[in-house]
Structure 1
Amino acid sequence: MPKSTPSNAAAIWALGVTQIIGYGTLYYSFSILAPGIAEEFGIAVEWVYGSISLALLAGGLISPYAGGLADKHGAALVLSIGSVAAAISLVVCGLAVNASAFLAGLILVELASAFVLYSTAFALLAQATGPQAQRSITYLTLIAGFASTIFWPLTTWMLQGLDWHQVYFVFAGMHALVCLPLHLWLTRFARMAAQRPAEKSPVPAMETGGASHSTFVLVVLGFSLAGFVSAATLFHIVPMLAMLGLGGSGVLVATLFGPAQVASRLVNMAFGKDLPAPTLAVISAVLMPAALTVLALTAPAIGGAVAFAIIFGLGSGLFSIVSGTLPLALFGKAGFGKRLGWISLGRLGVSAVAPFALSVALGAIGPKPSVWLLTAAGLSCVAVFGEILRRSRSSATLIVSSQTV
């Protein structure tokens, strides 16, 4: 990895492994496991998706607290605690003997997610890699983009020899035996990084004042809308493609999502490294409704579904970068962890209803009208990030003008 010290590179790779396992076990695997869970408990699959919606909301509510802990005590320690919590919560899910016990496990899973996924990992990179933080975040999202590509087919394959209870136990083992040791090592790395001389970094365009506050509200709103579209689509991507006439090809098409995420990050690293974060946010926001429009217009054509998965993956991949780099670019490192926590609260609070809402919509109005509703939400997201871009350009112009007076 160019421009990274060996220690920085090792930390990024360690976080990449833990984020692949984190997102794969705590997020992407759910859509593959949900039908079997619903069948065993004799409940509608909509109930299962309603459960994940409630659990996502619980995770969002604790996110500012987790971010504050990362700022105060170090993100690496919070990640380590999160690994233990994730392992325990997955065991609780695996031991569930009824729907209520499984709901309790899911809530624990999402509470653990607030401590162990991107927000805390980004905070660690901001604390430990100094002025290289934005580039480090890009590298991390590049590696972690393989989570869906690995865990959708891996979970499907595991279900051929294991039941969903046993799959959850295997997932718990991954957190205890792989993620926890890596996060404990990162606490040592973070202490070493903190002892290095501080390097001067650029002053963000928006740091204080009412304009900064209102812009932060827009940032939360933009990520909330993006989270709604992303959560609804990704939790239902395989069954939704089947309902649109793709049949068994849905899993194969869905596996293109991960490589597209990775490709978008590679393209950004190669050609967009100097692209301002607000501009990248607008580009990523445009790609998601564009992908959904392609799907709605072409289904059940396999070519259209492939194009949808690739375009949506490109947008989602860029959003993963922007979710860390945009707040850092606009507001700086001070209070970065807690700020990401508030963004997660807004994003998860809105996206919490997404899996359940789309599940109901698919049953009530059918797949194509549901896709068009998601497209409308995506276009609203574009408008919000467009306003953030306008404000950031205006602020930059004012700063330049004041420096030349």
Structure 2
Amino acid sequence: MADTYSTASCIWALGVTQIIGYGTLYYSFSILAPGIAVDLSVAVEWIYGCISLALLAGGLISPWAGGLADRIGAGKVMSIGSIGAAAALAVCGLAGSTIAFLAGMILVELTSAFVLYSTAFAFLAQTTGTRAQRSITYLTLIAGFASTIFWPLTTWLLHGIDWHQVYFLFAGLNLAVCLPLHLWLSRFARIAAAGPVETEEVSSPMVIGNANFVFVLIVLGFSLAGFVSAATLFHLVPMLGLLGLGTAGVWVASLLGPAQVASRLINMTFGKDLPATILAVVSAIAMPLALGTLALSSPSTAGAIAFAIVFGLGTGLFSIVSGTLPLAIFGKAGFGKRLGWIGMGRLGLSALAPFALSFALGAIGPKSSLWILAGAGLLCVGVFAEVWRRCRPVGSTVASSSIR
């Protein structure tokens, strides 16, 4: 396996690609959507319907992408994905009709399965050995700046160029920055594979009951978390505007990134020995707590800031847990495919989120919509509490059945 210096270089390279990947493929959408709707002469709900269908397509391909990462190496998969991401964003930039834009968004989500966290986590599991869980935490620490950079950046770009040109610029970033880094990471993976094999001692939690049922619970929990997160993040800036925050909504939303980074720093400093099952429950609690705070306090700016910080803390921890929880319980064997199945469930339910919340905001208003999301968050807390109940740390390696 790679030495500490090389591992640090690999994490930084991955961090840059994740910032650009999430920023261009995910976070920019909510800023661009209103202008796209006006330009294409459709209701903004239709544009959010496009992303819903696209998320569903991305979810369906996730298990295959994860299995491919297990077979040929995550570095190669991410390199292919960088080319696909650039092409998909270019298709969005060329779109002159709603059908063409829908096709572009479907391509965006299909390529996301190859370049974002699931594949990056698989890469770290393949190359960093016993340091995989800690490496995942470091990666999420760096990538947490994606929203902080790309929400304001996309807003600023729209003052000088239109959304077509923004997509072309984002396509260029994936091709000029992410592709070379992913190609270098592929070489790093080959060097790591040629090195001496570490003797890995895994301290896994004991799964009480059926391991496959626990995995189903994990998929359900991440699916609920993905629904709440996607609904909130895709609509955050316009929703804060509807709640009376006005132009302050953009900079309040930009606090999510620093909060995500802060949560990872806190976890690295004080929670490094905390079991992933407990961390999952803690991160799940943060979401309904934050949403309830926003619903009760709006249009208070202080309340919105508290929401952004708490929600950012929760989503920041979830980014860690999405990689460390299945790794801690089931180990490295078939890790990429497991993450793919989790991604399928998460994206499948998240596919409903943008359109559903867009409809709800118009039908029942922002506050009632927030309480519905908080209810889904509480259900997520219950699911992960059950996973925690069924898993207890033991001092020996636990074998679990493979998900096929």
Say yes or no: TM over 0.5: yes
Shift of 1:399: 6.1
Task: Measure the CA separation in 2 of the matches of 1:222 and 1:202.
Answer: 28
Give the secondary structure class of the aligned counterpart of 2:138.
helix
Give the secondary structure class of the aligned counterpart of 1:68.
helix
1:137-216 aligned at under 5 Å gives the runs 137-203=136-202, 205=204, 211-216=210-215
Q: Which residue of 1 aligns with 2:123?
A: 124
Asked whether the equivalents of residues 207 and 332 of structure 1 are also in contact (C-alpha less than 8 Å), the reply is: no
Give the secondary structure class of the aligned counterpart of 1:203.
coil
Gaps of 5+ in 2: 398-404
Shift of 1:197: 1.8
Corresponding letter in the other structure for 2:336:
G
Give the secondary structure class of the aligned counterpart of 1:334.
coil
Corresponding letter in the other structure for 1:187:
S
Q: Spell out, residue by residue over 1:91-122, the C-alpha distance to the aligned partner (whole angstroms, 9 max, x if none).
A: 00000010100000000000000000000000
Superposition misfits of 4+ residues, deviation over 2 angstroms: 200-210, 396-400
- Is structure 2 residue 369 aligned with structure 1 residue 370? yes
1:393-404 aligned at under 5 Å gives the runs 393=392, 396=393
Shift of 1:196: 2.1
Give the secondary structure class of the aligned counterpart of 1:245.
coil
Task: Measure the CA separation in 2 of the matches of 1:84 and 1:207.
Answer: 41
TM-score, normalised to structure 2's length?
Answer: 0.96
Give the secondary structure class of the aligned counterpart of 2:244.
helix
Task: Measure the CA separation in 2 of the matches of 1:217 and 1:203.
Answer: 22
Shift of 1:207: 8.2
Q: Which residue of 1 aligns with 2:259?
A: 260
TM-score, normalised to structure 1's length?
Answer: 0.96
Q: Which residue of 2 aligns with 1:64?
A: 63
Task: Measure the CA separation in 2 of the matches of 1:228 and 1:118.
Answer: 17
Q: Which residue of 2 aligns with 1:403?
A: none
Corresponding letter in the other structure for 1:101:
A
Change (3 A) 1:67 1:150: same
Q: Which residue of 2 aligns with 1:135?
A: 134
Task: Measure the CA separation in 2 of the matches of 1:349 and 1:222.
Answer: 13
Shift of 1:398: 9.7
Sequence identity, in percent? 72
Q: Which residue of 2 aligns with 1:325?
A: 324
Give the secondary structure class of the aligned counterpart of 2:38.
helix
Shift of 1:389: 0.6
Corresponding letter in the other structure for 1:247:
G
Task: Measure the CA separation in 2 of the matches of 1:107 and 1:397.
Answer: 43
Shift of 1:173: 0.2
Shift of 1:209: 10
Give the secondary structure class of the aligned counterpart of 1:246.
coil
Q: Which residue of 1 aligns with 2:386?
A: 387
Task: Measure the CA separation in 1 of the matches of 2:206 and 2:394.
Answer: 15
Asked whether the equivalents of residues 136 and 320 of structure 2 are also in contact (C-alpha less than 8 Å), the reply is: yes
Q: Which residue of 1 aligns with 2:228?
A: 229
1:96-135 aligned at under 5 Å gives the runs 96-135=95-134
Q: Spell out, residue by residue over 1:355-401, the C-alpha distance to the aligned partner (whole angstroms, 9 max, x if none).
A: 000000000000000000000000000000000011112xx36969x
Task: Measure the CA separation in 2 of the matches of 1:398 and 1:268.
Answer: 23
Q: Which residue of 2 aligns with 1:361?
A: 360
Q: Which residue of 1 aligns with 2:54?
A: 55
CA RMSD of aligned residues (A): 1.5
Shift of 1:195: 1.8
Task: Measure the CA separation in 2 of the matches of 1:195 and 1:101.
Answer: 45
Give the secondary structure class of the aligned counterpart of 2:17.
helix
Corresponding letter in the other structure for 2:366:
P
Gaps of 5+ in 1: 401-405
- Is structure 2 residue 313 aligned with structure 1 residue 286? no
Shift of 1:198: 1.9
Give the secondary structure class of the aligned counterpart of 2:223.
helix
Q: Which residue of 2 aligns with 1:246?
A: 245
1:15-26 aligned at under 5 Å gives the runs 15-26=14-25
Give the secondary structure class of the aligned counterpart of 2:210.
helix
Corresponding letter in the other structure for 2:308:
A
Shift of 1:4: 6.6
Task: Measure the CA separation in 1 of the matches of 2:380 and 2:147.
Answer: 23
Q: Which residue of 2 aligns with 1:298?
A: 297
Task: Measure the CA separation in 2 of the matches of 1:187 and 1:236.
Answer: 36
Asked whether the equivalents of residues 205 and 392 of structure 1 are also in contact (C-alpha less than 8 Å), the reply is: no
Task: Measure the CA separation in 2 of the matches of 1:79 and 1:398.
Answer: 35
Give the secondary structure class of the aligned counterpart of 1:201.
coil
Asked whether the equivalents of residues 262 and 317 of structure 1 are also in contact (C-alpha less than 8 Å), the reply is: yes
